[in-house]
Structure 1
């Protein structure tokens, strides 16, 4: 039986080998046999110790979610999983379905994920699952501004620039896109812990900030009060329930929590909220259009374990919906490697908090391992180029 499994899984390794157009994978297999896959062109050089064949079985039946389960159970290990994730993302087109769930399990998980759709009640439940882990948790490893989205570093990206300074640059870039005078009214859809709202208030703008997280609502109110600023209101409001019109709309990495089913609804809400000729500034995360269909047909590691209801954008589909809603797409700027650097710094801070015992006691080792894996997984995806973060200006017709 063991010999038969080895033969079957060797065939899967053959498929992975054939799909590695760039970079290489050195794998130590059960029984101490070693195989080197790829190596045809420069790229990431990953190392994996495959402790049990069952890890590959989980990869076949569960895709990236199954691969995480195998890692959590010690069925595979690597000195740097980030490089492995980068390697697979770099070769996303040539690998095809080698790293995605197959068969009945894929259909079952897709059906179960559908139960987490972002209806009004579902959105609140999904947001609470991720963000209401507690402000004390996020404060330990985000930068001092409590910003949970990609920073925008100066080019070239250097370690000397602080994460806090790069996050401030990101907020200023969004504000520059809106190009509003003091006194103008801005709607922020998905306000996080208030970094953008504070920056906007310091420019003299009036901000209506909305969130579905009670933890974030409390934090923003406290932040604005501590800063001695006025003109910022924050409320627990679904974007679909916004009324009135604004001089500008900002939304920073909120649309990933909307889901493909509701992209048009989200864009229609932005269009309604904008005065004629006004602008929205959006920061979003998109996955390569070439693999979007396969991605959308599966339930990946993040959707299953970290952010239920989440969905990265297909930029071409999202842009088409924006234009259908009367929003002109302008000045798109992508900066995916900036997100990779942001994630690396978050992981360093997270590891330091764990090492010093500062994490709240309710978070056990299983949780710690999950979040460390999540940060590595995301960093590798951005370094591999298949995932990008971008800012764009959407202009409503006059």
Structure 2
């Protein structure tokens, strides 16, 4: 039996607890989110804005220190702010930040606080790294307000990866909510031994105009549906050499995959055509999801493959691009985990990455590797 076709709002569906606006998450879950902002942050005492609470928080650790507004570290924030909320900022105020969640439609998804430094320890105190900058959150709303913290793993100057100067890190985002999603740094992320042969790799790219952006850019050369290469115009996934717009990034902090037109429309129409549908229902918003309901347990769906530079083909499972989703009223459907991008940038989101072992080699090779779930 063929499934029925419908639309669900992307703001009202959830896939196994993962929502476009982030759900409550443990520190372990936060560790596997690559945030383009690149800052690490944790929540301060009771999210209080009082100077007394901040000074008390600092007193807990003798190695913690505020970052002054005039400090070079403060200047490494994309949009540094200055306040005197905590005092003790070497006479020039406290370096502050405000980050909004990029996928949110309203302004009530943000975190703000002050920048501090502290000694970070790993592996039962086996390794200690002094002077690591992190954000001490004083106020947050939306998805930011429910987590205990977040670790930035982007290419920005204040990300944990950059501050620790690691040459590689990797993660596997598990689709099983009862399982942990492991992350590894340095030599633990090495893919040269063991089953490393099952990894496929593609070069990491640099934006030709703004070269210090924190994103992990890759070269997407095409998309196949049901074994058929979709005829997407050349240059759709390329950078604009004059403005730096466009390109393709891998981002585990974004839930859905975002394709710009004409790629979105062409891939969508090919998927619908192979499933027996002539055209999609009218959408109210660009981020409405195309969903299928009905069908049976034996219903098969066309395959979907992402083709990258260097001949790396990412053969997606059905759960990567047509996951089972549940609405607020308990209805279930299989929804295409792709929405139309409002800009030229293409984002490969975390649903499409689930169960793949993804490694970012940041050494001289500068490449991204991925291993299929069956390896």
State the TM bucket, normalised to the shorter chain: under 0.3
Which protein has the bigger helix share?
A: 1
Given the two structures, how large is their TM-score scaled by the length of structure 1? 0.26
Which has the higher relative contact order, 1 or 2, with Cα contacts under 8 A spaced 6 or more apart? 2
Given the two structures, how large is their TM-score scaled by the length of structure 2? 0.27
